[in-house]
Structure 1
Amino acid sequence: MNFFRKPVRPDDTADEELVSSYRLNADIGVLGKLYERHMPLVYGLCLKYLKDEEPARDAVMAIFEELVVKLKQHEVKQFRSWLYVLARNHCLMQLRADKKLPTIGIDDFMEFTPVLHPDENEGDKEEALQALARCMDKLTAPQKQSVNLFYIEEKCYKEIAEQTGYTLNEVKSYIQNGKRNLKLCLEKRRG
């Protein structure tokens, strides 16, 4: 497998066809073809989190092994986005297992400008965490519940829908709107 190929933006329709074919026939060759299209994305993401080429390559292979099982278990509408989340979660779990990952705030999971800055002292960090907690409390109950389940408990959309009784579209909307509202609230507190 070549990790250094130029990234190709695959056709979503073709991805969906390969996902359907794999789910139907469990053909590893089909899954390999699908994964190979997205390998530069996965490798780049792993390198970003793991900070070293060797562990990033190992993670790329481990993520493929996860795909063999998880792609059959989950209904995937947009493979590229789903794979990105799977790869990110794999890397975060790897860092936790290696104890290289200190406590991560919800802002890190949500990939917007961090509230915590390296030059802040402990009092500032505590204040920032309290601001995050206050902003979480301002979300609507469905947003707060969905954001917590997705970012903190690392549940997928389907699991959140099953646990809460919301539809998949409602879950996606609550997470998206909750994330946006948190960002706005935190920016307002800093500004």
Structure 2
Amino acid sequence: MIWSKPKDKHHNPTDEQLLQQYRETGELDILGRLYEQYMPLVYGVCLKYLQDEEQSKDAVMQIFEELIVKVTRHEVKQFRGWLYVLSRNYCLMQLRGEKKYETVAIDDVMESAFVLHPDTDDKEEYLNALQRCMEKLNEAQRQSVELFYLREQCYKEIAEKTGYTLNEVKSFIQNGKRNLKICMEKHGGR
């Protein structure tokens, strides 16, 4: 058996050090080294939202291309968390672009949030705010709203999947939409 000596911290730069090196040099192989260790995380996020292996593999590469530009424009304090949000937002935009969920209805619910926050024209910022508000919903409302809008499931399918009654599902969706609207109006998702 061959024993390898422990790796020296100086030979394994931190995420922050790699980011700084990339920003200073613009060398893609540095960013590639950083991204490579998080590719399984990114793939998992993509698979969760896109629910298609090939589409998720393509998304991993597209997200890297976005990363090349966005990592120089944004202050990144914790790369892993920031990359997770970037990946999730990319997938949500893909779903929105493919009309896999009813965008008009969810936008109608949030319409007043845009009126109250006219500077919220950045879709990424809007999606982040919407995600924060979704996380504030109770479990039953969040699950019902996600299944109804993001997965385009009908009341009956949601009831079968969750074990809630049909009336409970309708109530959770209605109350969830109302709570999302209030959250977006009041806090912009904060």
TM-score scaled to structure 2, two decimals?
0.60
Sort the Cα spacing of 1:29 and 1:45 in 2 relative to 1 into closer, same or farther, 3 A.
Answer: same
Question: In the alignment, which of 99, 107, 110 is matched to residue 135 of structure 2?
Answer: 110
* 2:134–2:180 Cα contact (<8 Å) kept: no
Does residue 126 (structure 1) correspond to residue 174 (structure 2)? The answer is: yes
Q: 2-side partners of 1:68 and 1:18: how far apart?
A: 13
Does residue 29 (structure 1) correspond to residue 77 (structure 2)? The answer is: no
Q: 1-side partners of 2:54 and 2:136: how far apart?
A: 24
Sort the Cα spacing of 1:132 and 1:86 in 2 relative to 1 into closer, same or farther, 3 A.
Answer: closer
Letter in structure 2 aligned against 1:130: R
Query: Is there any run of 5+ residues in structure 1 with no aligned partner, and where?
Result: 1-11, 148-174, 176-191
Q: 2-side partners of 1:30 and 1:92: how far apart?
A: 28
What SS does structure 1 have at the residue aligned with 2:37?
helix
What SS does structure 2 have at the residue aligned with 1:23?
helix
* 1:49–1:91 Cα contact (<8 Å) kept: yes
Q: 1-side partners of 2:179 and 2:85: how far apart?
A: 26
1:81 corresponds to which residue? Answer: 81
Sort the Cα spacing of 1:64 and 1:131 in 2 relative to 1 into closer, same or farther, 3 A.
Answer: closer
* Same amino acid, percent of matched pairs: 47
- Correspondence 1:11-26 to 2 at 5 A: 14-26=14-26
- Structure number with the bigger relative contact order (C-alpha 8 A, sep ≥ 6) is 2
Does residue 42 (structure 1) correspond to residue 42 (structure 2)? The answer is: yes
Sort the Cα spacing of 1:114 and 1:55 in 2 relative to 1 into closer, same or farther, 3 A.
Answer: farther
Q: CA deviation at 1:75?
A: 1.2
Q: 2-side partners of 1:68 and 1:114: how far apart?
A: 38
Does residue 57 (structure 1) correspond to residue 57 (structure 2)? The answer is: yes
Sort the Cα spacing of 1:130 and 1:111 in 2 relative to 1 into closer, same or farther, 3 A.
Answer: closer
Return the index of the structure with the highest Cα Rg. Answer: 2
Q: 2-side partners of 1:19 and 1:111: how far apart?
A: 32
Sort the Cα spacing of 1:96 and 1:72 in 2 relative to 1 into closer, same or farther, 3 A.
Answer: same
What SS does structure 1 have at the residue aligned with 2:38?
helix
Q: CA deviation at 1:133?
A: 3.8
CA RMSD of aligned residues (A): 2.8
**Any idea what the Cα deviations from partners look like across 1:16-67, whole Å, max 9, x if unmatched?**
0000000111110000000001000000110111101000000000000000
Find runs of 4+ consecutive structure 1 residues off by over 3 angstroms: 103-109, 120-123, 131-134
Q: CA deviation at 1:123?
A: 4.5
Q: How many residues align?
A: 131
Q: 2-side partners of 1:98 and 1:62: how far apart?
A: 16
